[in-house]
Amino acid sequence: MQRTTTLYDSRGEYVAFLHNETLFDTKGGTLGMVVGRFGIIVDMRGGYLGEVGPGNRLVRRCGRNAARVGRLVRGPVEDAAYEDVPAEVIRAAALPVAA
């Protein structure tokens, strides 16, 4: 069964979507893939891009103590040492859409 999930930033703005295990930008360019059972998303070069947080938020770990957070917790993403994936990171990760 095919599954599509719309993803948002912390302000509720649409930033990307997951189709099965592949992450796409809002224009359909491939950004990365979900790896493993923990929902970590890597870009097409294998680098850490982010994770899907509560409320279908596309977030990434931040701060010096981020490594201590095992999984996302309920509540504001800032409280769990997570931040929005910056727009420039999303743009840089995107592969061109096939014509």
pLDDT tens column, 37-48: 777 888 888 888
Give DSSP secondary structure letters for 43-93: ETTS-EEEEEETTTEEEEE-STTGGG--S--SS-GGGGTEEEPPHHHHHHH
What's residue 67's pLDDT? 44
Q: Is 37 helix (H, G, I), strand (E, B) or coil?
A: coil
- Tell me: the pLDDT tens digits for 10-25? 889 999 999 999 999 9
- What is residue 65's predicted lDDT score, i.e. its pLDDT? 44
Sequential pLDDT tens for the chain (99 residues): 689 999 999 889 999 999 999 999 999 999 999 987 777 888 888 888 888 888 999 988 775 444 443 443 444 444 456 677 777 777 777 766 655
What distance in Å separates the CA atoms of residue 88 and residue 95, rounded to the nearest whole number?
Answer: 13
**Buried (b) or exposed (e) across 51-79, using 16+ Cβ within 10 A?**
bbbeeebbbbbeeeeeeeeeebeeeebee
Give yes or no for a contact between 10 and 87, defined as CB atoms under 8 angstroms apart.
no
